[in-house]
Structure 1
Amino acid sequence: MRLSRAFIPILKETPKEAEIVSHRLMLRAGMIRQQAAGIYSWLPLGMTVLQKIAQIVREEQNRAGAQEILMPTIQPSDLWRESGRYDAYGPEMLRIMDRHEREMLYGPTNEEMVTDIFRSHVRSYRALPMNLYHIQWKFRDEVRPRFGVMRGREFLMKDAYSFDLDQEAARKAYQRMFVAYLRTFARLGLTAIPMRADTGPIGGDLSHEFIILASTGESEVFCHADILNTPVPGADTDFMGDLSPIVDAWTALYAATDEMHDEAAFNAIPDDKQMTARGIEVGHIFYFGTKYSEPMGAKVAGLDGVERPVHMGSYGIGVSRLVGAVIEACHDEAGIVWPDSIAPFDVAIINLKAGDPTTDAMVERLEAQFEAAGKSVLVDDTDQRPGGKFAAMDLIGIPWQVIVGPRGAADGNVEVKRRATGARETLPETGAFAYVTETVTK
């Protein structure tokens, strides 16, 4: 992609409405545009990151045995009346009347709808365990939307819903999602700490929030420092096996947000292991038993032939929120520092003298080499001054910058910069290609 043709509307000044780092940088880097309070258009750069995050989430859900569906954004109110949540949910729910005067709503979550889908098709325990998920837009009419995509009214979420015969099987489903979440966030370049959480309006008696540490986080968190060294399960994890040792390893150490903090339990931790920090919630999982299946008649026949309400859980990841959360955790004074796995481009090639035959030819060769190796490339072929080019690429946060100038090109050399560390090396053209591609592969 050539920057001269890319739609990346970079802003030199920070819009006054941007209160936190991620909001400022997303607006300045041309990733989003606000259309109304808490509602954003996603521009090409932001959309690319959003899709990469969604794909990693999708791959880990599939690996854990969940099956993807797609439910509509607009839901009939009758389903919510069945569960008893229509009036209880509160003003965050956007209620709608269609032209036939039927009460509808813009879904803030999908427990009722997925329960209706399940009860319409499943009658026997032989179909269990089952986990259905989708990645879909939600709407919650926040009284004070702020912080950009971190607390918007419209947001993209992955929500999964498990169905099991009894409590024991349902808790195993919960453990599968617990482990899948650890893997998901690790692949996004994040360390997410599972913390015991309040179940809120979703209901149930077992819940964990997954929190990433960031100085600008909305919550104060308290934990045992050793939890940061707990190993994340590998790609060879057997999701149908016994996952309790992995879950126990993470939950045995104290970790809580300010809402669930137990001062006495925290004080029992050795002083040198007590850690307090700020954190951002990026995922939330719940087990709620028969809260929805019982009132909505979602039953299956067991081995004895008796029909019983299924036990359920729900599991959310804020996909659009994660874009902002990653930036909150991964930035410096110059701009965004994307983890390799979700960067909008793998490599930025900066042509310091566009139009010069030598630099143009070297840029074209490097671009072709990287793309042939499966790496996405953004070429700055504009006529900006070098300082402006460097500032723009630092702001966007592409992991690697390959800088091609007329003096170096005349000698067959380029400069390579690693965005995360700022380290620079002057290398021969072929050496630069090998160095970057081998490092990205690692």
Structure 2
Amino acid sequence: MRLSQSLIPTIKEVPSEAQIASHRLMLRAGLVRQTSAGIYAWLPAGLRLLNNIADIVREEQDAAGAQEVLMPTIQPATLWQESGRYEDYGKEMLRIKDRHERDMLYGPTNEEMITDLYRQSVKSYKELPQVAYQIQWKFRDEVRPRFGVMRGREFYMKDAYSFDIDYEGAFVTYRRMMLAYMRTFQRLGVKAIPMVADTGPIGGDLSHEFIILAPTGESQVFYDAAFEDVDYGAANFDSAKPDDLGRFFGIMTDNYAATEEKHDLDVWGKIDDSRKREGRGIEIGHIFYFGTKYSKAMNFAVTGPDGQKLFPEMGSYGIGVSRMAGALIEASHDEAGIIWPDSVAPFKAAILNLKQGDPTTDALCEDLYGKLRKVALYDDRSERAGVKFADADLMGHPWQIIIGPRGAANGLVELKRRATGEREELSLDAALAKIGLNAS
């Protein structure tokens, strides 16, 4: 993408309405623009970010054995009346009527709809277990939306739903999804801790929220050092040996982790001081086991092994994809701007032309951009070098390929690593090899 022709409207001023770092930087870096209270349009760079996050989430859901579906955003109220949640959910639910005066709603979550879809299609215990997920826009009418995409009214979310024939199977599925989440967050470049949580309006008696560590986090968290330096990517979902996953399950469920609301001083006091860790955290995922709460209420039963009616045991699993975009910035930024993890950055690298109009510099930049246009942003604007440096830091590209007349004449570029500020002069091939790109 050429910056001179793109809809990436960077701004120098700090927006007065933005109270936290992610909100300020998403506006300044031209990722989003507010259209109404708590509702944002995602501009090209922001959409690339959103898609990169969603792709990692999708890959890990697929690896865990979940299958992707796409459900409507508008749901009939009758489904929620069946489950008993229609009146209980509160004003966060946007209730509407269609032209025939039928009660409808903009879905804040999909337990009822997925239960209805499965009761139409699955008739025998032999067809279970199953997990279905989607990545879809949702709406909750927050009374005071704030903090940009961190607490908006419209949000992009991965929600998954599991169906098992008994508690033992449901618990295995629950732990597999926990592990899929830890693998996901590791790939996204953040440290996440699973913590026992309240079930809220979803219901049930088992729930964990996933907290990523960030200095500007919304709550204080306390956890055991066992969560540190774990390579969840080494977990093999396809292994026939239960012990291959068992040690990861043990780390996730057997060690202390709590938000300040659930912090137990007595238990905390029994942990060796060398293992105690504290920090600030942001919730970016939540999972629930709620048994037959919805299957019984909505009369979804399958034929069991004994020929009798069996109500499937269910769970649901959410990751805030758009919220994750803000959380990543909260976890990784400095005074100059965003510092994206390589895995999700809208652009892997920025090509900075320091002498627009110089034939040698232009030729090298154009040739490089032609080969990297899918992953690089080319700053071809007629701006001062200082403006280009400032915008590149603001937007957080992991790498900056800086090309000026002197270097271009000698076949050299300057390579800057955004996270460390390290700069070095290299041949073009050496620079591309260092950042893992191939221009051939």
What secondary structure, in the 3-state scheme, does the structure 2 residue paired with 1:321 have? helix
Partner of 2:419: 420
What secondary structure, in the 3-state scheme, does the structure 1 residue paired with 2:234 have? coil
Identity across aligned pairs (percent)?
A: 63
Deviations 1:15-53 (A, max 9, x none): 100000000000000110101110011111100000111
Are the counterparts in 2 of residues 349 and 380 from structure 1 also a CA contact under 8 Å? yes
What secondary structure, in the 3-state scheme, does the structure 2 residue paired with 1:316 have? strand
Q: From 344, 347, 350, give the equivalent of 1:348.
A: 350
Per the TM alignment, residue 312 of structure 1 is displaced from its structure 2 partner at its CA by: 0.1
Structural RMSD (CA): 1.6
TM-score, length basis structure 1: 0.96
| C-alpha separation in 2, matches of 1:162 and 1:413 | 54
- Pair 1:198-2:188 in alignment: no
Per the TM alignment, residue 369 of structure 1 is displaced from its structure 2 partner at its CA by: 4.1
Structure 2: gaps of 5 or more residues: none
What secondary structure, in the 3-state scheme, does the structure 1 residue paired with 2:5 have? coil
Deviations 1:151-178 (A, max 9, x none): 0010011000000101011111111111
What secondary structure, in the 3-state scheme, does the structure 1 residue paired with 2:4 have? coil
| C-alpha separation in 1, matches of 2:87 and 2:239 | 38
Deviations 1:272-305 (A, max 9, x none): 3222211001111111000100010111111111
Per the TM alignment, residue 338 of structure 1 is displaced from its structure 2 partner at its CA by: 0.6
Letter in 2 for 1:175: R
Q: From 258, 278, 281, give the equivalent of 1:279.
A: 281
Letter in 1 for 2:65: G
| C-alpha separation in 2, matches of 1:124 and 1:154 | 37
Are the counterparts in 1 of residues 235 and 248 from structure 2 also a CA contact under 8 Å? no
What secondary structure, in the 3-state scheme, does the structure 2 residue paired with 1:55 have? helix
| C-alpha separation in 2, matches of 1:21 and 1:267 | 34
- Pair 1:21-2:21 in alignment: yes
Partner of 1:310: 312
Per the TM alignment, residue 433 of structure 1 is displaced from its structure 2 partner at its CA by: 2.3
- Pair 1:173-2:151 in alignment: no
Partner of 1:299: 301
Letter in 1 for 2:122: V
What secondary structure, in the 3-state scheme, does the structure 1 residue paired with 2:290 have? strand
- Pair 1:395-2:394 in alignment: yes
Are the counterparts in 1 of residues 94 and 140 from structure 2 also a CA contact under 8 Å? yes
Are the counterparts in 2 of residues 369 and 433 from structure 1 also a CA contact under 8 Å? no
Aligned pairs for 1:258-277 (under 5 A) are 258-277=260-279
Deviations 1:119-165 (A, max 9, x none): 11111011101111111111111111000000001001100000010
Partner of 2:72: 72
Structure 1: gaps of 5 or more residues: none
Per the TM alignment, residue 233 of structure 1 is displaced from its structure 2 partner at its CA by: 3.7
What secondary structure, in the 3-state scheme, does the structure 2 residue paired with 1:158 have? strand
What secondary structure, in the 3-state scheme, does the structure 2 residue paired with 1:272 have? helix
What secondary structure, in the 3-state scheme, does the structure 1 residue paired with 2:436 have? helix
Are the counterparts in 2 of residues 64 and 239 from structure 1 also a CA contact under 8 Å? no
Are the counterparts in 1 of residues 64 and 237 from structure 2 also a CA contact under 8 Å? no
Partner of 2:406: 407
Deviates more, 1:267-276 or 1:402-411: 267-276
Per the TM alignment, residue 240 of structure 1 is displaced from its structure 2 partner at its CA by: 6.9
Per the TM alignment, residue 239 of structure 1 is displaced from its structure 2 partner at its CA by: 6.7
Letter in 1 for 2:422: A
- Pair 1:210-2:210 in alignment: yes
Are the counterparts in 1 of residues 225 and 275 from structure 2 also a CA contact under 8 Å? yes
| C-alpha separation in 2, matches of 1:53 and 1:19 | 24
What secondary structure, in the 3-state scheme, does the structure 1 residue paired with 2:95 have? strand
Partner of 1:229: 229
What secondary structure, in the 3-state scheme, does the structure 2 residue paired with 1:260 have? coil
- Pair 1:334-2:321 in alignment: no
Letter in 2 for 1:254: Y
Letter in 1 for 2:402: I
Letter in 1 for 2:30: G
